[in-house]
Amino acid sequence: MTAPRPSPQADDVSHDITRLLRRLSDEGGDAGLTLDEVRDRLDERAYGLLILLLSIPCLVPGLYGVPQVVGVIVILLAAQMLVGREEPWLPRWFLKLRAKGSWLKAMADFAESKLGWIDRLSRPRLRRFADGPGEKLAAIFMILATATIVLPLTNTVPSVALALLSVGLIQRDGLFVIAGAAVTTAWLTILGAVGTGLLMGAEWATRWLPG
């Protein structure tokens, strides 16, 4: 007999990120949780937390391969946010994967030791930028930021933008969403300027070629 699926949690922003991860670790115990069970325990902030967890390995400068694979999943999640899907859809085989209890504990320990600043600085504010239409706008910036991750040696800055945007959605903090959107905009502007410069330089150089 299959155990009943837990009912979706209310959107309670009183649970900060470190407490949320610790709760997952405690509930998983030694056996851990399947990714489907993790998703069911993340309430309405599942999108934000999943994207935050995916963006962390992409912060490593010059990393190639992993950011490109992760980027596909992030775009899939962000696109679902954009169309208003309440619960993230991921392939069934992916959801059946199990996060070991030791991994969940290590993740919670890491959050408590390294990510405490997020909980200190973030809080519910400017919620119109982190909920409803603001959430959809954040999804657009996530897609734009992720699109640049596929470029070689350019994964760190857009991953910072993804982390800021996802924290904003998790904590319902519009200021973090605005910061993530600003980083994305600045990054796209820089890439556009560099690309334009290279094209103009190439065009200038061809004028001096013989024939």
List, as one string, the DSSP characters of the chain.
-PPPPPPPPP--TTS-HHHHHHHHHHHHTTT-EEHHHHHHTSGGGHHHHHHHHHHSGGGSTT--SHHHHHHHHHHHHHHHHHTT-SS----HHHHT-EE-HHHHHHHHHHHHHHSHHHHHH--SBSGGGTSTHHHHHHHHHHHHHHHTTTSTT--HHHHHHHHHHHHHHHHTBHHHHHHHHHHHHHHHHHHHHHHHHHHHHHHHHHTTS--
pLDDT score for 152: 63
Q: Residue 9: what pLDDT?
A: 44
> How many C-beta atoms lie closer than 10 Å to residue 106's C-beta?
12
Note the pLDDT of residue 143: 93
Residues of the chain with pLDDT under 70: 1-15, 43-45, 57-67, 150, 152-154, 201-211
- The region that residue 106 occupies, defined by phi over 0 for left and psi between -120 and 50 for alpha, beta otherwise, is alpha
Q: Rounded to an integer, what is the distance from CA 78 to the centroid of its chain?
A: 9
User: What's the pTM?
Assistant: 0.75
Instruction: Say what the pLDDT of residue 118 is.
Output: 79
